């Protein structure tokens, strides 16, 4: 579409809230037209969220999946970037209210994304961090790596105590050390949960095998809890089954039909089972940004704004909501998923719609073109669905790798990620294993006495019950 002539008129001001996939795409497309763009975000960088789990599991460094917003838009002279936090909107006066100032607009695009959803149990967040930002990824990395270090320290202390008992003439010589394995629990069987669980299993089974002297990381237990009947519920049943088989092959214990009812220090309660865990990670759900409710228009149960077919909000054709914050059904009546391709296509669509308005052309309706879905599980393990065409295993993993590298911002990032992944594929090495952050935050939570025994009894009963229905037979 050619830019419409300005005829000496003042350029309309477009304010974009959020520099995620949708907001950044809209800014880059709109920069070609005679408008003045103000992009507002409370962080100075754009994060490639599909690879956050790689930062959380020490495969990549933050700078390899993120880029400064100003650097991305440095060649767009009609775009200004403000490091601000939006707190409110005045739709009648066409104003965006931040903590520092009030910004006027002619068009407004709200693309502030989503955050964690603990289903009314926000007290679980300190015990089970989610994964939405670089800060979240670094905190998860800290807890995961610290758990292995503390497991080694505890094992060394037990070994020293045993040797001391032997020297004093005790009768423990030759007996195996009584120690509980290191346990990780990932709550949520969607793409993020599957990625975290599979990568944790690879770290424990391969990356750290020769680095500890008193503790064997291969004895760690990684459990994935899903409240529904299968993992990756957005995929076909056959791909979900293959994904579960690949997880089990990596050493992940998959617990489906287990709804988490409580998280406490050192344990997760799911139904009538109390599962001990030194580290719990949350991947069970997301909630829309609270800014959606500030618009004063109808929202759904998850807080997503109910937008019109052209992605504008009721009563305000100049205000658009896109990405994870928007609630819109596709052509088949299904809610559009909160994934990057949806946000990117919506950002492009809104930019074209504003250009049509400037050229006095009629608007159309947004239609999402689903080009397929991919989810990685581990090294050479993934599933991919392109319409009715499905693949799994190495070729799905290769397709996932190529697609994600293609969408990374900047040639430098693509090159670094390719080198890191090639090296990790050959050596299983995790090159970003730095423990950083606050020392007063929890990293290791020892299960309370009695939890281990209760769990083992329940676990044995569960395995006996599932052995007859084929659930475990797929391995």
With bands split at pLDDT 50, 70 and 90, how would you rate the model's confidence at 448?
low
Rounded to whole angstroms, the Cα distance separating 65 from 63 reads 6
For residue 265, the domain's CATH number is 3.50.50.100
- Decide if 54 is inside a domain: no
SS3 166: helix
Residue 160, pLDDT score: 82
Together in a domain, 291 and 409 = no
Together in a domain, 291 and 154 = no
Tell me the range of 118-122, 178-182, 198-202, 383-387 where mean pLDDT is highest.
Answer: 198-202
SS3 410: coil
Q: Which two tokens stand for residue 389?
A: 């065409």
- Decide if 75 is inside a domain: no
Over the chain, what is the mean pLDDT? Answer: 85
Q: Which residues contact 75 (CB under 8 A, 6 or more apart)?
A: none
Sheet holding 389-392, edge to edge: 373-378, 381-386, 389-392
Together in a domain, 213 and 259 = yes
Rounded to whole angstroms, the Cα distance separating 400 from 395 reads 9
Of 297, 324, 358, the residue at which a domain comes to its end is: 358
With bands split at pLDDT 50, 70 and 90, how would you rate the model's confidence at 471?
very low
Rounded to whole angstroms, the Cα distance separating 378 from 393 reads 9
Of 358, 391, 414, the residue at which a domain comes to its end is: 358
Cβ density class 362-398: b for 16+ within 10 Å, e for less = ebeebebebeebbbbbbbebbbbbeeeebbbeeebbe
Per-residue pLDDT of 397-426, as tens digits, reads 888 888 887 777 766 677 777 777 777 766
Residue 5 pLDDT > 70: no
CB-CB contact of 136 with 130 (8 Å): yes
Together in a domain, 411 and 425 = yes
With bands split at pLDDT 50, 70 and 90, how would you rate the model's confidence at 469?
very low
Residue 438 pLDDT > 80: no
Tell me the range of 39-43, 168-172, 215-219, 440-444 where mean pLDDT is highest.
Answer: 39-43
Q: Minimal CA–CA distance to 357: which of 313, 323, 310?
A: 310
Q: Which two tokens stand for residue 78?
A: 């009609």
Q: How far is CA 216 from CA 50, 202, 203, 209, 279, in A?
A: 31, 14, 12, 7, 17
Together in a domain, 297 and 383 = no
pTM check: above 0.75:
yes
Rounded to whole angstroms, the Cα distance separating 333 from 350 reads 21
Of 169-178, 181-190, 399-408, 461-470, the least confident? 461-470
Sheet holding 36-41, edge to edge: 79-83, 36-41, 13-17, 107-110, 316-321, 312-313
Mean pLDDT of 72-92: 95
Together in a domain, 339 and 248 = no
Residue 456 pLDDT > 60: no
CB atoms within 10 A of CB 416: 17
Of 122-131, 143-152, 435-444, 461-470, the least confident? 461-470
Residue 120, pLDDT score: 87
Residue 352 pLDDT > 50: yes
Together in a domain, 134 and 96 = no
Per-residue pLDDT of 303-347, as tens digits, reads 999 999 999 999 999 999 999 999 999 888 889 988 899 999 999
Q: What is the rounded (10 degree) CA torsion for 164, 169, 171, 177?
A: 10
Together in a domain, 242 and 380 = yes
Catalytic residue positions, numbered: 195
Give the structural domain span for 33: 13-42+84-117+287-358
Residue 404, pLDDT score: 81
Tracing tokens 């497991």 back to the chain, one arrives at 151
Q: Which residue has the higher pLDDT, 1 or 390?
A: 390
Q: Which residue has the higher pLDDT, 9 or 370?
A: 370
Per-residue pLDDT of 275-290, as tens digits, reads 999 999 999 988 899 9
Q: Which residues contact 91 (CB under 8 A, 6 or more apart)?
A: 295, 296, 316, 319
Q: Which two tokens stand for residue 86?
A: 């939006």
Together in a domain, 256 and 157 = yes
Q: Which two tokens stand for residue 90?
A: 């005045």
Q: Which residue has the higher pLDDT, 352 or 397?
A: 352
Q: Which two tokens stand for residue 197?
A: 């669980």
Domain count, the chain: 2
Q: Specify the DSSP element, H or E, that contains 321.
A: strand 316-321
Mean pLDDT of 2-7: 56
User: Bridge partners of 15?
Assistant: 38, 108
Residue 458, pLDDT score: 47
Of 358, 382, 400, the residue at which a domain comes to its end is: 358
- Decide if 340 is inside a domain: yes
Residue 354, pLDDT score: 97
Q: Are strands 221-225 and 252-255 parallel, antiparallel or unpaired?
A: parallel
Q: Which two tokens stand for residue 33?
A: 């037209």
Together in a domain, 223 and 273 = yes
CB-CB contact of 283 with 187 (8 Å): yes
Q: What is the rounded (10 degree) CA torsion for 28, 30, 32, 37?
A: -90
User: Bridge partners of 90?
Assistant: 95
Residue 453, pLDDT score: 44
Together in a domain, 193 and 238 = yes
Per-residue pLDDT of 223-273, as tens digits, reads 999 999 999 998 999 999 999 999 999 999 999 999 999 999 999 999 888
For residue 399, report the phi and psi dihedrals to the nearest 5 degrees: -65, -45
Together in a domain, 253 and 394 = yes
With bands split at pLDDT 50, 70 and 90, how would you rate the model's confidence at 134?
very high
- Decide if 426 is inside a domain: yes
For residue 350, the domain's CATH number is 3.50.50.60
Mean pLDDT of 199-228: 91
Tracing tokens 């089974």 back to the chain, one arrives at 205
Per-residue pLDDT of 60-79, as tens digits, reads 889 888 999 999 999 999 99
Q: Which two tokens stand for residue 252?
A: 């992940």
């Amino acid at each position: 579409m050619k830019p419409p002539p300005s005829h000496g008129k003042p350029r309309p001001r477009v304010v974009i809230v959020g520099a995620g996939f949708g907001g950044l795409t809209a800014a880059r497309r709109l920069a070609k037209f005679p408008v003045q763009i103000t992009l507002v975000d409370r962080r100075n960088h754009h994060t490639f969220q599909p690879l956050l789990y790689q930062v959380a599991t020490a495969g990549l460094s933050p700078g390899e999946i993120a880029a400064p917003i100003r650097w991305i838009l440095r060649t767009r002279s009609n775009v200004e970037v403000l490091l601000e936090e939006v707190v409110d909107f005045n739709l009648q006066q066409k104003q965006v209210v931040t903590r520092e100032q009030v910004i006027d607009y002619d068009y407004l695009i709200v693309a502030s994304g989503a955050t964690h959803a603990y289903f009314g149990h926000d007290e679980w967040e300190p015990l089970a961090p989610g994964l939405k930002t670089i800060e979240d990824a670094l905190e998860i990395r800290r807890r995961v790596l610290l758990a292995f270090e503390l497991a080694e320290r505890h094992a060394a202390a037990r070994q020293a105590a045993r040797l001391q008992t032997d020297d004093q003439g005790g009768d423990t010589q030759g007996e195996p050390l009584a120690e509980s394995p290191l346990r990780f629990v990932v709550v949520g069987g969607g793409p993020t949960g599957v990625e975290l669980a599979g990568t944790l299993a690879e770290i424990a089974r391969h990356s750290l095998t020769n680095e500890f002297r008193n503790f064997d990381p291969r004895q760690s237990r990684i459990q994935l809890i899903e409240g529904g009947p299968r993992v990756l519920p957005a995929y076909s049943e056959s791909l979900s089954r293959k994904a579960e088989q690949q997880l089990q092959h990596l050493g992940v214990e998959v617990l489906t039909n287990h709804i988490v009812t409580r998280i406490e220090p050192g344990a997760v309660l799911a139904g009538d089972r109390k599962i001990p865990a030194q580290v719990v990670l949350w991947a069970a759900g997301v909630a829309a940004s609270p800014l959606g409710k500030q618009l004063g228009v109808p929202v759904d149960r998850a807080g997503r704004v109910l937008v019109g077919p052209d992605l504008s909000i009721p009563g305000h054709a100049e205000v658009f909501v896109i990405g994870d914050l928007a609630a819109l059904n596709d052509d088949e009546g299904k809610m559009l998923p909160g994934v990057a391709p949806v946000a990117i296509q919506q950002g492009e669509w809104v930019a074209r719609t504003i250009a049509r308005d400037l050229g006095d052309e009629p608007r159309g309706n947004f239609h999402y073109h689903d080009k397929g879905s991919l989810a990685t599980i581990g090294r050479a393990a993934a599933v991919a669905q392109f319409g009715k065409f499905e693949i799994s295993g190495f070729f799905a993993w290769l397709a996932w790798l190529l697609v994600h590298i293609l969408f990374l911002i900047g040639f430098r990032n693509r090159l670094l990620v390719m080198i890191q992944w090639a090296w990790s594929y050959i050596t299983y090495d995790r090159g970003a294993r730095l423990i950083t952050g606050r020392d007063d935050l929890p990293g290791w939570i020892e299960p309370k006495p009695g939890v281990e025994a209760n769990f083992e009894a329940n676990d044995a009963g569960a395995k006996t019950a599932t052995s007859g229905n084929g659930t475990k037979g797929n391995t």
